Amino acid sequence: MMSKWLGLVLALWVPVLSQAAIETRTVEYQQGDTRLVGYLAYPMDAKEPRPGVLVVHEWMGLNDYAKRRTEQLAELGYVAFAADIYGDGKVVADRKEAGALSSTYKKDRVLLRARVAAGLTALKAQSAVAADKVAAIGYCFGGTTVLELARSGADVAGVVSFHGGLDTPAPQDAKNIHAKVLALHGADDPYVPTEQVVGFEEEMRKGGVDWQLIAYGGAVHGFTNAANGNDNSKGAAYNAVADARSWLAMRQFFDEVLGPVKSSP
């Protein structure tokens, strides 16, 4: 039965990987004195401004995984921009470096918010973007980051966190959130324990936020990235069903907050 279900889920997933004609390019921008190098993807056939989606990378930096997700969004018809949080388009060498660098930003949420805000400004500056129809998504470290973007009061219609950390040192800032919030969470994620999930739910309630949290059974941290392997005991592992379900949940959410967008033929 599970194999039949998985086949159906993957069949739904395939259209996301369509061969829609897109353009991609790097975009240099600044935050203070720091040079940042983002990655832009958009449909070639766009004749008028399209909704924009900001993408924030995992703790490894702006690597091929983040770029591919950006391209997938462009294939759906969005103008997508992968922000560079670390600077100079940096991709870290290993998990040790990733842990050290990402911790720098997690400990300094003011800096983290400034970096993601710079990415949002760069996205909205693109002529192909309908600046009043913008959302943000992030993976792991990026999920934490887009939630901080929302807490900063940024002018975005919605944010989506894929297996991101849900905690914050300033839960009172939920009162600043204007965006609708969707958190897509691995129910067995050892890095985001139950008490953190409960704290996030309470934060959202107290802030009066329009929020959703979907927990995927059997999924741990990093469930959207096949590079994580399939061994749940490692704490981070790919889960094809949760990956497909979460992408579909994002698409439905975007239809709500951004309106339907026609994909390229």
Quote the CA–CA distance of 73 and 58 in Å, as a whole number: 17
Average pLDDT over residues 24-29: 98
Average pLDDT over residues 129-142: 97
CA angle 6, 9, 14 (to 5 degrees): 120
Please report, for the chain, the start and end positions of each structural domain, with discontinuous segments joined by +.
2-257
Question: 204-215: per-residue pLDDT in tens?
Answer: 999 999 999 999
pTM for this model (two decimals): 0.92
Query: What is the structure's pLDDT at 13?
Result: 45
Q: Is the pLDDT of residue 57 over 80?
A: yes
Question: 151-169: per-residue pLDDT in tens?
Answer: 999 999 999 999 999 999 9
Question: 65-124: per-residue pLDDT in tens?
Answer: 999 999 999 999 999 999 999 999 999 999 999 999 999 999 999 999 999 999 999 999
* Average pLDDT of the chain, as a whole number: 93
Q: Which residues contact 16 (CB under 8 A, 6 or more apart)?
A: 72, 75, 76, 247
Query: What is the structure's pLDDT at 264?
Result: 43
Q: How far apart are the first and last CA of the chain?
A: 34
Give start and end residues of each alpha helix (H) in 136-265.
141-151, 194-206, 240-257
Provide the pLDDT confidence category of residue 150 given band limits of 50, 70 and 90.
very high
CATH superfamily of 2-257: Alpha/Beta hydrolase fold, catalytic domain (3.40.50.1820)
Question: 180-221: per-residue pLDDT in tens?
Answer: 999 999 999 999 999 999 999 999 999 999 999 999 999 999
CA angle 44, 41, 39 (to 5 degrees): 150
DSSP 23-76: EEEEEEEEETTEEEEEEEEEETT--S-EEEEEEE--TTBS-HHHHHHHHHHHHT
